[in-house]
Every structure is written in structure tokens, then in C-alpha cells.
Amino acid sequence: MIRVSTYLNFMGDTEEAFLFYGSVFGTDLLGPIMRMGDMPSQPGVAPLSAEEKNLVMHVELPILGGHVLMGTDMLESQGHQLRTGNNITINIELEERAEAERIFGQLSDGGSDQFGLHDMPWGSYWGTCADRYGVRWMINCAPATS
């Protein structure tokens, strides 16, 4: 299967984030959430705590146009560190201005409006924001061409 996806890392709130994204886009997870505890223990790796066993190993959520988000929780006990920044941006291309405003508004709620939606010289209604989880989104709304 050929598809485009974006993989997101979190420090313990992957499930919460993916439920939020599902509510924004009106979609459901692709299959069940795989938990860290679903994986067999690895030789030479310290056993996971009960809390870590419940963390997300892998989750998938379709959003728009066949794009799929994938995510995982990082494990502090294994030295993982999340560095939230501008290294991940998801570009959403839409044709309806009202839909662009709805999605932008929900994603930026509790986050930050980095560059609000504006008409741009290239003909699109465009903006960027970071959501409440620190993930960057770019909304690009170009009118449908005939």
C-alpha cells in the first residue's frame, strides 16, 4: 500500500492527542491501539513499569485525502527525550475557506496561532499554528480550479 503519513512522538499523551485529532477530523483510529505492554520483553532491556506498559506503542489515524497520522509514546525510563519544536509540520490542503477556518480554529485552540489565516500573494488562504501538544500545522486553502 502506498500512502503518505506523518509520525508523531509524545511523552505519555499520544492517546489523548489522537482522540483529539479524531474529533477535529471526524475520523476513527485504524485498528486498535498497540500498547507497550503488548510487545514481548527484550533481552538486556529493563522491564517496563505498569504505567509504561499502558503507553501507546503505535496508533494510526486517517485525517484528510488519504493522509495518515501515526504516533507513539516515548519512554523516559529508556532515556527518550521529546524535543518539541518546528521539526514536524503537517500541511493540510483544502478547497473550502470555512473548513480551513474550522480546522485552524480547533487546532490552534489551547496552542498558538503562529501566523493566522490570511489571503496570500500566491492565491491561497494560508496560516500556521501549533496545537496544544506542540505539533505545527500549516493550513493552505486554494479555491477549486475549474
CATH of the domain at 101: 3.30.720.110
* The last residue of a domain, from among 55, 78, 101: 78
Cα–Cα distances (Å) from 128 to 28, 36, 57, 101, 144, in that order, read: 25, 33, 29, 11, 21
Q: How far is CA 97 from CA 119, 127, 141, 144, in A?
A: 10, 12, 6, 11
Share of the chain above pLDDT 70, in %: 92
Long-range contacts of 39-45 (CB under 8 A, 24+ apart): 45/78
Which of residues 78, 97, 131 is at a domain's end?
78
Each residue's pLDDT tens digit, 24-40: 999 999 999 999 999 88
42-45 contact pairs (CB < 8 A, 24+): 45/78
Please check whether residues 62 and 125 belong to one and the same domain: no
Contact (CB, 8 A) for 123 and 142: yes
Same domain, 125 and 102: yes
Report the CATH number at residue 22: 3.10.180.10
* CA–CA distances in Å: residue 89 to residues 33, 55, 127, 131: 23, 24, 12, 11
Domain co-membership, 112 together with 55: no
Q: Rounded mean pLDDT of the chain?
A: 88
Residue 45, pLDDT score: 81
Considering the domain architecture, whether residues 9 and 68 belong to the same structural domain is answered as: yes
69 shares a domain with 106: no
Q: Is residue 83 part of a domain?
A: no
From residue 36, alpha-carbon distances to 46, 51, 69 in Å are 13, 10, 18
pLDDT tens digits, 86-95:
557 798 888 8
Is the pLDDT assigned to residue 42 strictly greater than 50?
A: yes
Which tens digit of pLDDT belongs to each residue from 45-99? 888 999 999 999 999 999 988 899 999 898 888 888 887 665 577 988 888 999 9
Q: Which structural domain, as residue segments, surrounds residue 93?
A: 89-141
Residue 54, in any domain of the structure: yes
User: What is the number of domains present in the chain?
Assistant: 2
User: What is the grid cell recorded at 56?
Assistant: 501507546
Say which residue, 67 or 43, is predicted with more confidence.
67
Q: What is the pLDDT of residue 80?
A: 82
Same domain, 39 and 72: yes
Q: Are the CB atoms for 101 and 117 separated by under 8 Å?
A: yes
1 pLDDT above the threshold of 80: no
pLDDT at residue 20 in the model: 97
Between helix 97-108 and helix 14-25 the angle, nearest 10°, is 160
pLDDT at residue 69, rounded to an integer: 94
Is pLDDT above 80 for 103?
yes
Task: Say whether pLDDT at 6 is over 50.
Answer: yes
